[in-house]
Amino acid sequence: MLKEKYDEAAIRDLICDYRDFHPFPKGDERQLVEGLPDCLQKRWIEAGKRYLDFSWPPLPAVRFMDFKRNGNRSEFEKLHFKRRNVLATLVLAEYMEGKGRFLDQIINGIWAICEETFWGVPAHNYVSGYPDAPLPDVNEPIIDLFAGETAGLLCWTYYLLKSQLDKVTPLICRRIETEVKRRILDPYMERDDFWWMGLLSIRPVNNWNPWCNSNCLTAFLIIEKDRDRRVKAVRKALESLDAFMAVYHDDGGCDEGTSYWGRAGASLFDCLELLFWASGGRINFYNEPLVQQIGRYIYRAHIHDEYFINFADGGARVAIAASLVYRYGQRIGDQRLVDMGISAYHLQAEKRKQYAGEIVPASLLRQLPEIFIYEKLQNKKARPPYVRDVWLDGLQVMAAREREGDYKGFYLAAKGGHNSENHNHNDVGQFIVYYSGLPVIIDVGVETYTAKTFSSARYEIWTMQSNYHNLPTVNGFGQQPGIEYRARNVVYKKEDNTAELSLDISCAYPPEAGIKKWIRRCTLHRGDLAFVEINDDFELNSMSDDIMVSLMVPCENSIDNEKGIVYLRPGDVELSVCFDSSIYACEGEYISITDERLSHVWGSHIYRLVFRAKRVMDKGSWNIKVKANTAD
Distances in Å between the alpha carbon of 502 and those of 207, 239, 430, 536, 579?
A: 30, 38, 12, 10, 19
pLDDT at 618 over 60: yes
Q: How much is the average pLDDT of 237-259?
A: 95
Considering the domain architecture, whether residues 169 and 229 belong to the same structural domain is answered as no
How far is Cα 365 from Cα 271, in angstroms, rounded to an integer?
10
Letter for the amino acid at 570?
Answer: P
pLDDT bin (cut points 50, 70, 90) of residue 356 is low
- Return all residues near 450 (Cβ < 8 A) that are at least 6 apart: 71, 72, 73
**Residue 330: phi, psi to the nearest 5?**
-65, -45
502 contacts 521 by C-beta, under 8 angstroms: yes
Q: What is the pLDDT of residue 362?
A: 87
424 falls within a domain: yes
Instruction: Provide CB contacts within 8 A for 96, sequence distance 6+.
Output: 33, 36, 40, 41, 44, 45
Residues 6+ apart with CB under 8 A from 574: 567, 568, 629, 630
Q: Which residues contact 240 (CB under 8 A, 6 or more apart)?
A: 197, 198, 199, 209, 213
Nearest C-alpha neighbor of 276 from the set 10, 15, 4, 13: 15
Residue 60's pLDDT is what? 96
424 — pLDDT class (breaks 50, 70, 90): very high
- Alpha-helical (H) ranges within 169-200 are 171-180, 186-190
Strands of the sheet containing 472-474, edge to edge, are 472-474, 547-553, 605-613, 584-592
Residue 61 lies in a domain: yes
Q: How confident is the model at residue 201, as a pLDDT?
A: 79
Phi (first) and psi of residue 150, to 5 degrees: -65, -45
Predicted local distance difference test score (pLDDT) of residue 173: 98
Band of pLDDT at residue 257, cut at 50, 70 and 90: confident
Lowest mean pLDDT of 231-245, 344-358, 426-440, 548-562, name the range: 344-358
> What would the pLDDT profile of 293-319 be if each residue is shown by its tens digit?
999 999 999 999 999 999 999 889 999
Q: What are the backbone dihedrals phi and psi of residue 611, each rounded to the nearest 5 degrees, phi first?
A: -100, 110
> Is 443 found in the same domain as 365?
no
The rounded distance, in Å, linking the Cα atoms of 281 and 172 is 32
State the Cα–Cα distance between residues 5 and 338, nearest whole angstrom: 27
pLDDT digit string, tens, across residues 160-191: 999 999 999 999 999 999 999 999 999 999 99
Distance between alpha carbon 565 and the CA centroid of its chain, in Å?
Answer: 36
Residue 489 shares a structural domain with residue 624 = yes
Note whether residue 213 is domain-resident. Answer: no
Q: Is 595 exposed, middle or buried (0-12, 13-18, 19+ CB in 10 A)?
A: middle
If asked whether residues 126 and 247 sit together in one domain, one would say no
Angle at CA 406, nearest 5°, toward 401 and 410?
A: 35
Summary mean pLDDT of the chain: 96
CA distance 340 to 320: 10
Q: Based on the fold, state whether residues 485 and 613 are members of the same structural domain.
A: yes
Q: Residue 204: inside a domain, yes or no?
A: no
Indicate the helix (H) or strand (E) that contains 113: helix 103-114
Q: Which residues pair with 537 in a beta bridge?
A: 519, 621
- Structural domain includes residue 324: yes
Q: How confident is the model over 62-116, as pLDDT tens digits?
A: 999 999 999 999 999 999 999 999 999 999 999 999 999 999 999 999 999 999 9
What mean pLDDT do residues 466-487 have?
98
Q: Does any domain span residue 205?
A: no
The share of the chain scoring above pLDDT 70, in percent, equals: 99
On whether the CB atoms of residues 414 and 522 are closer than 8 A, the answer is yes
Do 265 and 236 reside in the same domain of the chain? yes
pLDDT of amino acid 203: 86
What is the per-residue pLDDT across 106-145, written as a single tens digit (0 to 9) for each? 999 999 999 999 999 999 998 888 888 999 999 999 999 9
Q: Percent of the chain at pLDDT above 90?
A: 94
482 and 372 within one domain: no
Q: Please give the torsion angle defined by the CA atoms of residues 98, 99, 104 and 105, in that order, rounded to the nearest 10 degrees.
A: -60
Q: Radius of gyration (Cα) for the chain, nearest Å? A: 26
| SS3 label, residue 499 | strand
Predicted TM-score (pTM) of this structure:
0.96
- Residue 255 domain flag: yes
Among 400, 562, 363, CA closest to 493: 400
User: N- to C-terminal Cα distance for the chain?
Assistant: 54
Please give the pLDDT value at position 75.
95
Strands 565-569, 556-560: pairing is antiparallel
Q: Is 396 left (phi over 0), alpha (psi -120 to 50) or beta?
A: left
Of 385, 420, 448, the residue that ends a domain is 385
458 in a domain, yes or no? yes
At residue 632, does pLDDT exceed 50?
A: no
pLDDT bucket at 630, cuts 50 / 70 / 90: low
1 and 127 inside one domain: no
**pLDDT for residue 55 is more than 60:** yes
End residue of a domain, out of 169, 191, 213: 191
Query: What pLDDT score does 352 carry?
Result: 84
Shared domain for 91 and 178, answered yes or no, is yes
Q: Which domain holds residue 43?
A: 36-191
Helix axes 208-222, 227-246, angle to 10 degrees: 170
Q: What is the pLDDT of residues 12-28, one digit of tens each?
A: 999 999 999 999 999 99
For residues 423-433, give the mean pLDDT.
Answer: 97
Which amino acid, one-letter code, is at 26?
K
Q: Are 540 and 516 in contact (CB under 8 A)?
A: yes
Question: Is 217 in a helix, a strand, or coil?
Answer: helix
Q: Length of the chain, please?
A: 632
Q: Is 396 in the same domain as 373?
A: no
Do residues 157 and 239 both lie within one domain?
A: no
Q: Are residues 45 and 13 in the same domain?
A: no
Q: What is the pLDDT of residues 511-557, one digit of tens each?
A: 999 999 999 999 999 999 999 999 999 999 999 999 999 999 999 99
Which CATH number does the domain housing residue 601 bear? 2.70.98.70
Is the pLDDT score of 365 beyond 90?
yes
- What total of structural domains would you count in the chain? 3
- Cβ burial of 446 (10 Å; 0-12, 13-18, 19+) is buried
